[in-house]
Amino acid sequence: MLKRYRTIEKDGQFEIEIKKSRFICHLKRVNDENEATAFIAAVKKEHSKATHNCSAYLIGDQNEVQRAHDDGEPSGTAGVPMLEVLKKKDLKNVATVVTRYFGGVKLGAGGLIRAYGNSVSRALEEIGLVEGHLQIEIRATIEYPLLGKVENLLHESPYTIKDIVYTDKVTFSCMVNEDETAHFYRDVVEWVSNQVSFEEGALSYYEVKIND
């Protein structure tokens, strides 16, 4: 499993006009190639009267699946520049379709490359990106006299309090980046002079919005 990944914050679309042509960029998270091709087919059906519906997608932790389709535009002027934008942003498991309604002005090969790449770039800016961090849930159980101190220190720390359970003792359920677990154990032990017991839970991803 990846310790970190980047992807789009949500599915969406964004439209720009370039020399009277409409370029509508559609973006979607996908888990496999079947989802990607189904998404592309759906956009093509919705915009069946468009001049072109060019597409690109990246799938897999190491981008094992990469596809780019020009859909009638000159070879290499649409799908590839769209794919390159996704790769430059280091995104994972994303599919994009750029729908073009021709406005009567030809752009030339260089103009098409810029137009399709810019359509994806602008759409990513509008929709937003997130970074997922692989985290582990760690439950730290302490005595009540230590409650206030530990809670304050956790709020000031890079760790996230998921839940607090009050029984005969107090248990903090914390989400910790997998590569920071040793620091977490060390910090809590120091805060409470080793008066703590730990239990590890499941691994999961926690996503935070990024500006890129």
Q: What letters, b where the CB count within 10 A reaches 16 and e where it falls short, cover 68-98?
A: bbbbebeeebbbbbbbbbbeebebbbbbbbb
According to the model, what pLDDT value does residue 2 have? 85
- Contact present, 188 and 197 (Cβ < 8 Å): no
What is the number of alpha carbons within 13 Å of residue 53 lying toward its C-beta? 17
3-state DSSP of the chain: CCCEEEEECCCEEEEEEECCEEEEEEEEECCCHHHHHHHHHHHHHHCCCCCEEEEEEEECCCCCEEEEECCCCCCCCCHHHHHHHHHHCCECCEEEEEEEECCCCCCHHHHHHHHHHHHHHHHHHHHCEEEEEEEEEEEEEECHHHHHHHHHHHHHCCCEEEEEEECCCEEEEEEEEHHHHHHHHHHHHHHCCCCCEEEEEEEEEEEEEECC
According to the model, what pLDDT value does residue 19 have? 94
Model pTM score: 0.82
Domains of the chain plus CATH, in order, are: 7-127 (3.30.230.30), 131-210 (3.30.70.240)
According to the model, what pLDDT value does residue 212 have? 67
CA dihedral (176, 181, 186, 192) in degrees, to 10, reads 40
Degrees to nearest 5, angle at CA 178 with 174 and 183: 70
According to the model, what pLDDT value does residue 179 have? 87
According to the model, what pLDDT value does residue 206 have? 87
- What is the residue-level pLDDT of the chain in tens, covering all 212 positions? 788 999 999 999 999 999 999 999 999 999 999 999 999 999 999 999 999 999 999 999 999 999 999 999 999 999 999 999 999 999 999 999 999 999 999 999 999 999 999 999 999 999 999 999 899 999 999 999 999 999 999 999 999 999 999 999 999 999 999 889 999 999 999 999 999 999 999 899 888 899 76
